[in-house]
Amino acid sequence: MRFLFYLPLSLIFSLFSLLALTACAADLEAFQRASARARIGQFFDRNAVGASSESKHTNNWAVLVCSSRYWFNYRHMSNTLGMYRTVKRLGIPDSNIILMLADDAACNPRNRFPGCVYADAGRHLDLYGENIEVDYRGYEVTVENLLRVLTGRVEPSVPRSKRLLSDDRSNIFVYMTGHGGNEFLKFQDNEEMSTFDVADAFEQMWQKKRYNEMFFMVDTCQAKSMYSKLYSPNILATGSSQVGENSYSYENDMDVGVAVIDGFTHFTLEFMENINKTSATNMQEFANKIRSHADVRSDLFHRPLDRTLITDFFGGVAHAEVIESPITTSVTTVSVESIAPEELGLREPVADLLINVSAAADDVEDHYAHFGGKQQDGWAIVAGLVGYVVMRERRQ
Amino acid sequence: MSAGRWTLLYIVAARLLLALSLIGESLKEDHQLASPLNAYPRLREGTYLFNHGISPYSGGTFRHSPLFLPFFSWLPDSPYLNASLWTLVDCISAWALVSIWNARSGGVRSRGVLLASMYLINPYLFLPSLATSTASFDNALLLLAIKFACERRTPPCLFSLAFASQLSLPSILLLPPILLLLLSDAKSHLASPKSFSTSYSAVAPVVLEFFAYFATLTGAATIATGGWSWAANTWGAGLILPDLTPNPGLWWYFFTEMFDHFRPFFLMVFSMHLLIYVAPVCIKFQHDPLYATFILVGLIAMFKPYPTLADAGLFLTMFTLFPETYRYLRYPIVTALLHLHAFLLLPLFHHLWVGAGTGNANFFYASSLVFGVANGGAILDAIWAGLRIAVGEVGEDYAVMQE
């Protein structure tokens, strides 16, 4: 029975060593946590996009429209696809991009490279690829559908992927390409959208708080006329040509057989190749880059261009903030009257939202109280059982 | 200290160092080593919810028994601590295995070191321990229950078995053979079978005591978590199979492709399938209940709803308790190679399916079928050998066959 004598001693010793191990483990953990916090802080300070951007947007949308069909308008489709790839690369997800292609160049029987759309002579980069989501295709690209998408007045049966679900904190990039004239854009070779329609649609969007800022880019003939009649605030517009002037394609590819890209879009994409998600390049540099007779209209835009980042419109960059203090999951009831909607920066009443929160809080309180009460009883029972077994052992 | 003891010390030290090198950090969620009932990240999620006053079973990921909660909510989440704790648990299991051997062989100590090292270096057992899967706890409790039964210490045996059944419900099927073991002895009677005879008055108190412990533990768990939701999430998981995470078992693939109409029927079939082995094995090996326990451990490892490699590992390591059967095993090499094959294929096809994306679930299930064939082959061979010993030596002109 000697082991019975050593048993309490060994218990005490093992308890002590366990405590020592626990202390070491806790110390190690605290050290790791502190160094991790320092490293996170350095990371965000180094890449502080949020610090240099003054825009108040929280999400980005892109509406990319190619309005002309037929094989010889290949370049309009590759224009749009080039823009699509750019905004996707810079972080806007497919769910926030409305891509409208009036014709299918990739699967056209005249395409020598089926499934591929190229934007340069030499065919170095396939813009169609495998990861593409075209929302409006073929004959769905009409003036009515575009205006419905922009204003949000869509049929109930229209799926979410075909809706522009922007809010008052969205920055929207609208890009249109095709054949245009003085104050109109030709759709599908059988109808036109006038610049007044576009201006009114944008004003409806402003009235319905569907955008924070908008960047409107047009690559057609006489592009400036397309945005000449805009009158809503916070819109930055650019076009490829002046009124009365044509826009020209940039280059042809000999094997595809048609022109593969337009000049304005080509130079824009070339400029964009040097931009990535953390880029701090501003819109003024972009405006400076546009040579020839392209034009930028910034009188409706409230911020100076040299303090507006490219990624405010082209990228889907999220701003993150490192919070120093740990967040505790405590349950508090929220009183509706004490918070005024203006304080929260919302324009709608918050009463309905907050009532639901406080109701849920009560449920959790009850559950919490009920759950936490009897743990000790349970563990006491198990300990008692162990003690009983040990006692019976020792009696034998 | 003898050479054997030094060897054992080196092995334990090597195990501890390997575990402390944190090589197992990437293995924590590995599907072969940790099932939804065993995985360590799920345990930590449960303790987190528990510490914040939310029922841990409300999330649907935590399927461990509530009896884990007080210890692991107190224990800090340090990988070094876990490594030491799991190595300690494995050492306890190895010690229990050696004690079983001592009880069976009556003190032939020289093999004790071999048995302990067979437990500690078996890859099927030390990989789940590196991955800190709670299957190691299940194995430890089972081995402790068998050890106490061999030493005829009823209360600790029944308590360990009740605890093991709380952690993993299929272990309750080991009650009949362990009962037989408690009422007879652990010595090898394979060569001389005779029928088991006892009276109900000896059996009934033991059974009642087991169910008393089991009920008390169940009550403790219920009181601690404030409801019965834990039973549906832990034991119910093995009966209803809500979680179809891949594992080296045979159930999950069936139920991924099954129409809902047939699901209750096949769940009943699979559960009954486990039940039907208990009586025949205990009847056939009533003369040597330890061997019956061994066979049933293997059967449960093969057919339980959420197995891991550790269950089969326990069965294979327990082979070392029965050296008298070795000369009667008919195809040990085939079984060993099948196990090697399965051991190599399981992670390979899992990676091809989940990691590389070039394979699909059929690849992985095929490798778990190979694993099942390996286990089945081992069990069948063990049954044959256990029964063949009783026949004894046969002359040159005769051969023993099964009709």
Which domains, and CATH codes, for chain A?
A: 59-314 (3.40.50.1460), 337-395 (no CATH)
Q: Is the four-CA dihedral A136, A142, A146, A149 of positive or negative sign?
A: negative
- Our CA-based measurement puts residue B152 at a distance from the nearest CA of chain A, in whole angstroms, of 11
Flag whether pLDDT at A357 surpasses 50. Answer: no
Q: Answer whether residue B241 is part of any domain.
A: no
Long-range pairs of B354-362 with CB within 8 A, sequence gap ≥ 24: B354/B31, B354/B246, B361/B246, B361/B253, B361/B256
Query: Is the Cα dihedral B188, B194, B198, B204 positive or negative?
Result: positive
Q: What is the mean pLDDT of residues B222-245?
A: 89
Select from B159, B160, B210, B214 the residue whose CB has the most chain A CBs within 10 Å, as the one to mutate to test that interface. Answer: B159
Residue B38's identity, in one-letter code, is N
**Residue A60, φ and ψ in degrees, nearest 5:** -120, 140
Q: Which amino acid is at B218?
A: T
Contact A22 B81 (CB under 8 A): yes
Tell me the sheet residues that pair with A309. Answer: A282
* pLDDT, average across residues B308-335: 94
On whether any CB of chain B is under 8 Å from the CB of A382, the answer is yes
The pLDDT, as a whole number, for residue B109 is: 66
Average pLDDT over residues A331-358: 49
Smallest Cα distance from B50 to chain A, Å: 9
Selection from B220, B214, B219 nearest residue B70 by Cα: B220
Which chain B residue has the Cα nearest residue A23? B76
Count of domains forming chain B: 1
Q: Touching check for A395 and chain B: CB below 8 Å?
A: no
Tokens of A25: 């483990």
Q: Is A107 labeled as catalytic in the residue annotation?
A: no
Distance CA A65, CA B20 (A): 59
Does a structural domain hold residue B240? Answer: no
Edge-first strand order for the sheet with A59-66 is A136-137, A97-101, A59-66, A170-177, A213-219, A235-239, A295-297
Establish if B237 belongs to a structural domain.
Answer: no
Angle at B139 between CA B327 and CA B306, to 5 degrees: 100
Element (H, E) at B382: helix B361-391
pLDDT, tens digit (0-9, with 9 covering 90-100), for B158-203: 999 999 999 999 999 999 999 999 998 778 888 888 888 887 788 9
* Residue B46 host element (H or E): helix B40-51
Q: Is B171 a member of any domain?
A: yes
- Residues contacting B293, CB < 8 A, separation 6+: B146, B174, B177, B178, B181
Q: What is the pLDDT of residue A365?
A: 46
Measured between alpha carbons, how far is B208 from B201 in angstroms, rounded to an integer?
A: 11
DSSP annotation of B134 reads T
User: Would you say residue B341 lies in a domain?
Assistant: yes
Which pLDDT score is estimated for A361?
A: 47
Lowest average pLDDT, out of A275-289, B136-150, B308-322, B387-401, goes to A275-289
Please give the C-alpha separations between residue A321 and each of A36, A44, A49, in angstroms, as whole numbers.
Answer: 15, 8, 11
Q: Do B223 and A21 make contact, defined as CB atoms within 8 angstroms? A: no
ipTM of the complex: 0.77
Residue B62 within any structural domain of the chain: yes
Beta strand spans in B111-242 (E): none
CA B123 to chain A, closest CA, distance in angstroms equals 27
pLDDT tens profile B8-21 = 999 999 999 999 99
Token couple for B330: 């008919």
User: Which tokens is A112 given?
Assistant: 């020598």
The verdict on residue B252 lying in a domain is yes
Residues A279-287: what's their mean pLDDT?
Answer: 79
Q: Is the pLDDT of residue B222 over 50?
A: yes
Residue B239 located in a structural domain:
no
A385 contact residues in B (CB cutoff 8 A): 159, 213, 216-217, 220
**Could you tell me if A221 and A180 are in contact, meaning their C-beta atoms sit under 8 angstroms apart?**
yes
**Pick from B66, B156, B224: CB nearest A393:** B156
Please give the C-alpha separations between residue B53 and each of A380, B221, B230, B245, in angstroms, as whole numbers.
Answer: 19, 16, 15, 28
- Half-sphere exposure of residue A134: CA atoms within 13 angstroms, side-chain side: 22
Nearest to A378 by CA among B41, B65, B168, B157: B65
The residue among A3, A31, A388, A389 with the most chain B CBs within 10 A of its CB, best to mutate, is A389
What is the pLDDT averaged over residues A281-288? 79
Chain A residues near residue B153 by CB distance under 8 angstroms: 393, 396
Which of B228, B79, B308, B65 lies closest to A382 in space, CA to CA? B65
Read off the pLDDT of residues A106-152 as tens digits, 9 standing for 90 and up.
999 999 999 999 988 888 889 998 889 999 999 999 999 999 999 99
Closest C-alpha among B359, B383, B363 to residue B296: B383
Give the sheet arrangement for strand A179-181, strand by strand: A179-181, A184-187, A191-194
b/e sequence A307-341, b meaning 16+ C-beta within 10 Å: ebbbbbbbbbbeeeeeeeeeeeeeeeeeeeeeeee
Q: Where is average pLDDT lowest: A17-26, B94-103, B189-198, B208-217?
A: A17-26
Residue B99 clears pLDDT 90, i.e. is over it: yes
Would an 8 Å CB–CB cutoff place B213 in contact with chain A?
Answer: yes
Bridge partners, A174 (sequence order): A63, A216
The size of the A-B interface in CB pairs under 8 A is 72
Confidence class for position A28, pLDDT limits 50, 70, 90: low
pTM for the model: 0.59
Say yes or no to pLDDT of A318 above 70: no
pLDDT at B117 over 80: yes
Which contiguous run of DSSP H or E holds residue B340? helix B332-350
Asked if A13 is an interface residue toward chain B (Cβ–Cβ < 8 A), one would say no
| A221 a catalytic residue | yes
The partner residues of A237 in beta bridges, in order of sequence, read A216, A297
**Around Cβ A188, how many Cβ atoms within 10 Å?**
18
- A180-191 confidence digits (pLDDT tens): 989 999 999 889
**Can you give chain A as a three-state secondary structure string?**
CHHHHHHHHHHHHHHHHHHHHHHHHHHHHHHHHHHHHHHHHHHHHHCCHHHHCCCCCCEEEEEEEECCCCHHHHHHHHHHHHHHHHHHHCCCCHHHEEEEECCCCCCCCCCCCCCCCECCCCCCCECCCCCCCCCEEHHHCCHHHHHHHHHCCCCCCCCHHHCCCCCCCEEEEEEEECEEECCEEEECCCEEEEHHHHHHHHHHHHHCCCCCEEEEEEECCCHHHHHCCCCCCCEEEEECCCCCCCCCEEEECCCCCCEEEEHHHHHHHHHHCCCCCCCCCEHHHHHHHCCCCCEEECCCCCCCHHHCECHHHHCCCCCCCCCCCCCCCCCCCCCCCCCCHHHHCCCCCCHHHHHHHHHHHHHHHHHHHHHHCCHHHHHHHHHHHHHHHHHHHHHC
Residue of chain A with shortest Cα separation from B80? A25
Number of other CB atoms surrounding residue B228 within 10 Å: 12
Q: How many CA atoms lie within 13 A of A288 on its CB side?
A: 7
Distance of CA B321 to the CA centre of its chain: 16
Backbone angles phi, psi at B287, to 5 degrees: -80, -20
Which range has highest mean pLDDT (A265-274, A350-359, B350-359, B365-374)? B365-374
Partners of residue A259 on adjacent β-strands: A252
Which residue has tokens 């004239």? A181
Residue B314's CB is within 10 A of a number of other CB atoms, namely 27
Which one-letter amino acid corresponds to residue B316? L
Burial class (CB in 10 A: 0-12, 13-18, 19+), A61: buried
Q: Is residue A72 predicted with pLDDT exceeding 70?
A: yes
Which one is catalytic: A66, A221, A293, A367? A221
Rounded mean pLDDT of B41-68? 89
CB-count burial class (<10 Å; 0-12, 13-18, 19+) for A175: buried
Q: Could you list the residue range(s) of the whole structural domain that residue B385 is in?
A: 3-231+246-402
Number of other residues whose CB lies within 10 A of the CB of residue A343: 9
In the three-class reduction of DSSP (H, G, I as helix; E, B as strand; rest coil), residue B42 is classed as helix
What tokens appear for A178 in the block? Answer: 């095709």
List the single residue in A22, A373, A396 with the smallest CB-CB distance to B76: A22
For chain A, positions 14-33, list CB contacts with chain B under 8 A: 21-22, 24-26, 28-29
Q: How high is the pLDDT of residue B135?
A: 95
